[in-house]
Amino acid sequence: MKKTRWEGTSVQHLIRNATSGRFYGQWTVDGKQKWRALHTSVFTVARLRLNDEAAKIEKLRGSKAAVASGAGSVGDLMRIYEERVKANKDLKPKSLEARITGLRKLRKTWPELETLKPRSVTPAGIAEWATTFKNGLAGNSATSVNGAIDTLRRLMDIAVARGAIHANPVAVRPEDGEGRLKKKRTPKKLTLPSMANTHRLFVAIENSGNLGGWSIEIADFCRFLFFSGCRIGETPAVTWSCVDWSKKQLHVKGSKTATSDRIVPLFAETEALLKRVVERRKGMGVGVADRIFRVSECQKSIDRACKKIEIPRITHHDFRHLFATHCIESGVDIPTVSRWLGHNDGGVLAMRTYGHLRQEHSATMAAKVTF
């Protein structure tokens, strides 16, 4: 592996990556190095952008010093928190985006919060803000409300850790408080197509003439989601090395939780599907490290096909729901289906989500009952 070589410049804190030619800013805050990509290889542009980043770094230094001395505001906590979030390499892109969104929502819905001292943020004040936020005219979603509340809790955790306050006010109920602080989530009601319509959907995608020659690949990708129960984000890591033809198993390299990395049966339909893909790849070469599918999402194609055959719109994730529902309807017990899905709760979520199966299955089962 070629080692990256760094070059100093005539401007303090401005560093050049000799390998790529790109410029970076480098500072030390609290004994730790802070790097900022300046996204340019032009020196004059880099110098201008460096000034903007330097101003942010100075604000961060000031915020940390102010909070440590007890004179800091919640705005200072926000700057420290945002810096931590952006520097956390363990956060996935969606988690990073969710945390930044939570901070933005907090600032928007409680604008005076930034100027308050941490000790001035009381349980009663938090409850009043949360109630107003939950009951807003726009009907703020539970995800939006709860994300902002979690952000405020993390901010106050920083204040506790740095000695600005003794206890996190988000965790303390106000004396006259009623009800819960967070907004209750309303589970989305699953509206899934019948088996007949699911297969009609695959055929409609396959027969579409406006997909630039990718219609069969996209249709088979959707079939794979249905036959495997994979999350859409897991499919790029599914390579031919994940297929064990002899044991009839598929290794799904999930990373959402410890149990997401799992083994799913290679059902007869899945095996036939993958063999068709291998046949289609003849002449192109199929390596064990190659991805099985050359597409990673196809929502627009699904939308067009749903409209064409006149069924309600479904998403990539609905194929995962269809997989679980079909397995349960076929007689597989919920704990087993839960393991195939990569859940880590022994079937609690699956029971809550799939406890009420499709009406057509209910009617079939009802016909078997006699009194």
CA distances (Å), origin 156, targets 64, 88, 153, 289, 310:
14, 19, 5, 46, 51
Model pTM?
0.62
The pairing of strands 243-244 and 249-253 is antiparallel
**216 has a pLDDT exceeding 50:** yes
Most confident range (mean pLDDT) of 6-20, 59-73, 275-289 is 6-20
User: What is the bridge-based pairing of β-strands 243-244 and 261-265?
Assistant: unpaired
pLDDT of 65 above 80: no
Confidence at residue 86, expressed as pLDDT on a 0 to 100 scale: 87
Ordered structural domains, the chain, with CATH? 6-171 (1.10.150.130), 195-363 (1.10.443.10)
Ramachandran area for residue 13 (φ above 0: left; ψ -120 to 50: alpha; else beta): left
The length of the chain, given as a count of residues: 371
Please state, in angstroms and rounded to a whole number, the distance separating the CA atoms of residues 27 and 17.
16
Q: State the average pLDDT over residues 248-270.
A: 88
Please give the share of the chain, as a percent, with pLDDT higher than 90. Answer: 48
Percent of the chain with pLDDT over 70: 89
Element housing 340 (H / E): helix 334-341
Question: Among 39, 149, 134, 139, which Cα is nearest to 101's?
Answer: 149
CA dist., res. 157 & res. 33, Å (int): 23
Give the whole-angstrom CA distance, residue 62 versus residue 99: 23
pLDDT (mean) for 214-233:
94
Among the listed ranges 75-84, 103-112, 265-274, 283-292, which one has the minimum average pLDDT value? Answer: 283-292
Residue 270 confidence (pLDDT) above 90: yes
* Tokens linked to 78: 């926000």
Is it the case that residue 137 has pLDDT exceeding 60?
no
Query: Contacts from 87-95 at CB under 8 Å and sequence distance 24+?
Result: 87/34
Q: Is pLDDT above 70 for 358? A: no
* Mean pLDDT, residues 101-105 taken together: 94
Residue (of 272, 190, 259) closest to 224 by Cα position: 272
Answer yes or no: is pLDDT of 350 > 60: yes
For tokens 């199929």, the residue is 286
Q: What is the mean pLDDT of residues 311-320?
A: 94
Q: What is the dihedral of CA 35, 40, 46, 51, to 10 degrees?
A: -50
Distance, in Å, from the CA atom of 317 to the CA atom of 324, rounded to the nearest integer, reads 11
The band of 2, judged by pLDDT with boundaries at 50, 70 and 90, is low
- The closest alpha carbon to 146, from 133, 137, 132, belongs to 133
Question: Span 192-220, mean pLDDT?
Answer: 88
Give mean pLDDT, residues 103-131.
Answer: 93
- The arithmetic mean of pLDDT across residues 309-322, rounded, is 94
pLDDT digits (tens, 9 = 90+) for 141-192: 888 999 999 999 999 999 998 888 888 999 876 555 556 788 887 767 778 8
Candidate from 120-124, 250-254, 363-367 with smallest mean pLDDT: 363-367
Mean pLDDT of the chain: 86
Is the pLDDT score of 227 beyond 50? yes
- Say yes or no to pLDDT of 1 above 50: no
Residues in CB range of 20: below 8 A, 6 or more apart: 41
H or E stretch at 46: helix 43-69
| pLDDT above 60 for 138 | no
Higher pLDDT, 34 or 353: 34
Residue of 113 and 192 predicted with greater confidence: 113
